[in-house]
Amino acid sequence: MFLVWLRVAVVLYGLASVATLAAVFGNRPQWKRLSVSLAIIAWLFHGVSCTEMLADAHRWMPAGMHEVQSMLALLITTAFLLILWRYRTLSFGVFALPLALLLTVVPSLGLDKYAFKSPMIRSGWLFVHITGLLSAYAALIFSLTASLLYLIQERRLKNKRSPGFLNWLPPLETMDQIAQTTLVLGFCGLTIGLFAGSLIAQEIYGARYFADPKIWLSFLMWGLYVVLLFVRRSKGLRGLRAVYISSLVFLAMLSVWAANVFSSVHRFSAP
């Protein structure tokens, strides 16, 4: 029965993650109450699941990778809710809730080693993984381009130069919105791609996959992306500083791309 409660918690963690991203990055306060409510309910179901899991096994400590993952996710969510209660800030939910979702989704499929039911299902997840990451690269290229054009247009207007061949450029506000929107879309693509890749990894390689430095670099890049996105949104950065932020994220993603050459278990030539 504990798997049922855990699966409910996984769904709620996913919904809470989406609501939190909308509340923090989309500047939508009405989503904050929804995300907090979903996170609390997910935490309750998750707590019941872990309690039943240990009670059925007649022990007080988790044993096995999947049990440890589930307990770690519960502790991460507990720490987030305590911070939320004490400091009234939802920002840490951007990290905590997606991480809890990632840690619980595989244990919710069963504590034994699982496998995809058919090659088609595995290929589908692989398609989501590749498409999500490539979409992130494409969106980030647009964000960097829009930021550079914003900088060019801003300097041209300040110097009161004639339009010339740059009269085709849209207004500054439009380019800033494009840069911000594509940056957020790139983050969504990256999150979906890494999430799908993690599912495939645990089915094919097991724990060995997560010992690969490229995987740690990928998640560190995701964390950097979140920080830079939050800074750009909260500070309202534009112009040269916005170019710096987009460039940093783009360079981080390129470093992960280049790390495929040195990866022992994950290369472009193999899934």
Task: State the maximum Cα–Cα separation within the chain, in Å, rounded to a whole number.
Answer: 79
pLDDT tens figures, 216-270: 777 777 887 887 777 777 666 666 666 777 677 777 777 766 666 566 555 544 4
pLDDT at 208: 62
> Does the structure show a pLDDT above 80 at 21?
yes
- Inter-axis angle of helices 213-235 and 93-105, to 10 degrees? 150
Q: Minimal CA–CA distance to 194: which of 260, 102, 114, 121?
A: 102
The Cα–Cα gap between 58 and 116 comes to 30
pTM: 0.68
What is the tally of helices (H) and strands (E) in the chain?
9, 0
- Report yes or no: 16 and 93 within 8 Å, Cβ to Cβ: yes
Could you give the dihedral angle defined by the CA atoms of residues 79, 106, 45 and 84, in that order, rounded to the nearest 10 degrees? Answer: 20
Residue 156: what residue type? Answer: R
pLDDT band at 47 (very low <50, low <70, confident <90, very high): very high
Q: What is the pLDDT of residues 147-206, one digit of tens each?
A: 777 777 777 777 765 555 556 667 777 877 887 788 888 888 888 888 888 777 766 666
Contact between residue 95 and residue 73 where contact means Cβ atoms under 8 Å apart: no
Helix 93-105 / helix 2-24 crossing angle, nearest 10 deg: 150
